[in-house]
Amino acid sequence: MHKRITELQEQLRQGRISRRDFIRYTTILGLSLGAAEALAACAPKPTPTPTPTLWPWPLHIPDESGIVPTPEWQPTPRPPTTPTPTVFRPTATPTPVMWEEATWSCPGCEKGFPTQEAWINHILTEHEWKIPGARRVSRPTYSQFLVGPVERFDQKNHVFSRTVWDEEYKALLSKVTPQKASDGFKALEGAALKAGAIYVDETAGSLHPRYYGYTGHLKDVGGLYNWDDPVNPEQYPVSDPAQMSERIKKVGRFYGADLVGICEVDQRWVYSHYFERETGAYGVLDIPYKYAIVLGIEMDWEGIDQSPGFEASAATALGYSRMAEVAPPLAKYIRALGYPAVPSGNDTAQSIPIAIDAGLGELGRNGLLITPEFGPRLRICKVFTDLPVKPDQPIDFGLQRFCEMCHACAQQCPAGAIRRGERTTEPTSISNRTGILRWPVDVAKCYLFWQENGTDCANCVAACPWALPIRPWL
Ligand code: SF4
Ligand code: SF4
């Protein structure tokens, strides 16, 4: 592994891989194989200084046979006045400078240690870990972090809704100057790619003239997300809900979903009120259905990997168009079987906890659903129904522990919106739920960055090691 990290380091130095890829690959190495070296390699990017401060690289930890390799040079502890390492790839000094009360900072969790030995010991005990296999569990892994009353979330407090009514936030947004593209034609082509990608959702998802895709249902305007299609009065008999679940999953995949899961609807995740930012309509929401069929749509890796830019934005937009092509046909199928069904995009309920309940994945540090198959590189839509089905159990694939050690998304967030430290119940704004111990994402900061950037961002998707399309480490 040491050799592999050194190779990656060399590739980074030569500009053959991006810093994001470097972080991602070393994270994978560190967390899947268990090693201090990968974490050390993820130290913040240095500012070159004429006299380098030595950073303990490479580390000398026992190999598989328990032998500690002979150091090629003597590492020098960093001085206490340097909170973070400033040099990424040091060279040895013939006469190491010794500092009293030296501090060794863990690049994983940022704790400080007085000696290198304590520092290595910490990394090997706290950050060495092997990824367990995925297993079905009786309760979703977020349950252990529900520490207070969890109220239903009002869609009006969603950051996108706030851009319409929250004067304070609107004032902040008005101060942002969007970056001007250095290549106007390239930007034009990128915008065209995105326009084509969202076209299906925008023109067919909802038929309101101000609908511009991305939301899902708008009341009483028709379109694919329409709730009011008639239900067949003749009902298909369901004697075996488990068999019907299998059938529904097959049909969901037939219509284009990449993942399908089923759960009972937990009303805590249904919005207390709907808010349509296109029309300003606001009211109490009632979703009285027993089950949610959750559909996951993979987003194109090559596009997402170009974040933050038009290619990534187009990959996201295409995900929304595919949502409009998958959830409404599945709802139509269920209605034609004689059972009520409501297709939903981002409207009606928070898709992430519902998808976790349906066994698709777990909640990540970046606030997104992380699935074993695609990581966070997934769009989610759902169909609410009373069709008799058997729910899936949630899964645990070790992500909670993984995210405690991996900070790749936080390191790659240009807005500093993803928390690096421990979990907390403190919300960053009214756009976060309370009562949950987690890493709340500062979505207000995130959206400000989108405005400044001129298009949306998916760095926290692209940076996640689980988002990689090929993962031999799994
Ligand atoms: S999408 Fe938002 S939270 Fe994610 S990396 Fe970009 S700015 Fe940060
Ligand atoms: S969500 Fe963030 S912390 Fe968790 S695995 Fe993905 S990149 Fe790492």
What would the pLDDT profile of 173-223 be if each residue is shown by its tens digit?
999 988 888 888 999 999 999 999 999 999 999 999 999 999 999 999 999
Residue 276: predicted pLDDT: 96
Final residue in a domain of this structure, among 73, 98, 126? 126
Say if residue 9 is in the same domain as residue 120: yes
> Residue 8 falls within a domain, yes or no?
yes
Choose one of 23, 109, 403, 413 to mutate for the ligand 2 pocket test, by most ligand atoms within 8 angstroms of C-beta. Answer: 403
Residues shown for the chain: 474
The residue nearest atom 7 of ligand 2, judged by CA position, is 464
User: pLDDT-derived band of residue 95, with 50, 70 and 90 as boundaries?
Assistant: very low
Q: Is 165 exposed, middle or buried (0-12, 13-18, 19+ CB in 10 A)?
A: middle
> Residue 472 falls within a domain, yes or no?
no
Backbone angles phi, psi at 318, to 5 degrees: -65, -35
> Residue 209 falls within a domain, yes or no?
yes
> Residue 363 falls within a domain, yes or no?
yes
Least confident range of 29-38, 98-107, 358-367 = 29-38
For the chain, give the longest Cα–Cα distance.
Answer: 87
The residue nearest atom 2 of ligand 1, judged by CA position, is 446
- In short, whether 418's Cβ falls inside 6 Å of ligand 1 is yes
CB 393 within 8 A of CB 427: no
Q: Which domain holds residue 184?
A: 135-467
Of 110 and 305, the structure prediction assigns the larger pLDDT to 305
Q: Is the pLDDT of residue 277 over 80?
A: yes
Scan for tokens 């008999």, then name that residue.
237
Say if residue 165 is in the same domain as residue 291: yes
The residue nearest atom 7 of ligand 1, judged by CA position, is 446
> Residue 160 falls within a domain, yes or no?
yes
Say if residue 244 is in the same domain as residue 362: yes
- Identity of the highest mean pLDDT range in 34-48, 57-71, 264-278: 264-278
Q: Could you give the CA distance from residue 261 to residue 276 in angstroms, rounded to a whole number?
A: 27
Say if residue 294 is in the same domain as residue 403: yes
- In short, whether 410's Cβ falls inside 6 Å of ligand 1 is no
**For residue 420, how far is its CA from the centre of ligand 1 (angstroms)?**
13
Say if residue 139 is in the same domain as residue 275: yes
> Residue 473 falls within a domain, yes or no?
no
Reduce the DSSP state of residue 362 to 3 states and report it.
strand
Say if residue 81 is in the same domain as residue 150: no
Least confident range of 16-25, 41-50, 52-61 = 52-61
For residue range 317-337, list pLDDT tens digits in order: 999 999 999 999 999 999 999
Q: Which two tokens stand for residue 274?
A: 């709907």
Final residue in a domain of this structure, among 87, 103, 126? 126
User: pLDDT-derived band of residue 135, with 50, 70 and 90 as boundaries?
Assistant: very high
CB 38 within 8 A of CB 30: yes
Q: Which two tokens stand for residue 59?
A: 């580390």
**For residue 416, how far is its CA from the centre of ligand 1 (angstroms)?**
8
Q: Could you give the CA distance from residue 166 to residue 156 in angstroms, rounded to a whole number?
A: 9
The residue nearest atom 6 of ligand 1, judged by CA position, is 457
User: pLDDT-derived band of residue 123, with 50, 70 and 90 as boundaries?
Assistant: confident
Reduce the DSSP state of residue 156 to 3 states and report it.
helix
Nearest-5° Cα angle at 350, 349 to 353? 125
User: Which ligand is closest in space to the CA of residue 409?
Assistant: 2
Say if residue 76 is in the same domain as residue 217: no
User: Which ligand is closest in space to the CA of residue 439?
Assistant: 2
**For residue 366, how far is its CA from the centre of ligand 1 (angstroms)?**
8
Say if residue 164 is in the same domain as residue 200: yes
- In short, whether 443's Cβ falls inside 6 Å of ligand 1 is no
Final residue in a domain of this structure, among 101, 126, 151? 126
Residue 31: predicted pLDDT: 56
Q: Could you give the CA distance from residue 139 to residue 144 in angstroms, rounded to a whole number?
A: 9
Least confident range of 112-126, 185-199, 357-371 = 112-126
**For residue 462, how far is its CA from the centre of ligand 1 (angstroms)?**
10
Residue 2: predicted pLDDT: 57
Nearest ligand 1 atom to alpha carbon 463? 5
Q: What mean pLDDT is reported for the chain?
A: 84
- In short, whether 340's Cβ falls inside 6 Å of ligand 1 is no
The total number of structural domains in the chain stands at 2
Nearest ligand 1 atom to alpha carbon 458? 1
Q: Could you give the CA distance from residue 174 to residue 318 in angstroms, rounded to a whole number?
A: 28
Backbone angles phi, psi at 455, to 5 degrees: -160, 170
Say if residue 78 is in the same domain as residue 195: no
**For residue 410, how far is its CA from the centre of ligand 2 (angstroms)?**
8
Cis ω before 308 (30° cut-off from 0): yes
Give percent of the chain with pLDDT exceeding 70. 80
**For residue 193, how far is its CA from the centre of ligand 1 (angstroms)?**
21
Q: How far is CA 144 from CA 141, 340, 418, 437, in A?
A: 6, 34, 21, 9
Q: Could you give the CA distance from residue 296 to residue 352 in angstroms, rounded to a whole number?
A: 11
Choose one of 363, 409, 411, 438 to mutate for the ligand 2 pocket test, by most ligand atoms within 8 angstroms of C-beta. Answer: 409
Q: 230: Cβ–Cβ under 8 A, 6 or more apart, which residues?
A: 335
**For residue 441, how far is its CA from the centre of ligand 1 (angstroms)?**
9
- In short, whether 23's Cβ falls inside 6 Å of ligand 1 is no
Say if residue 167 is in the same domain as residue 291: yes
The DSSP symbol for 50 reads S
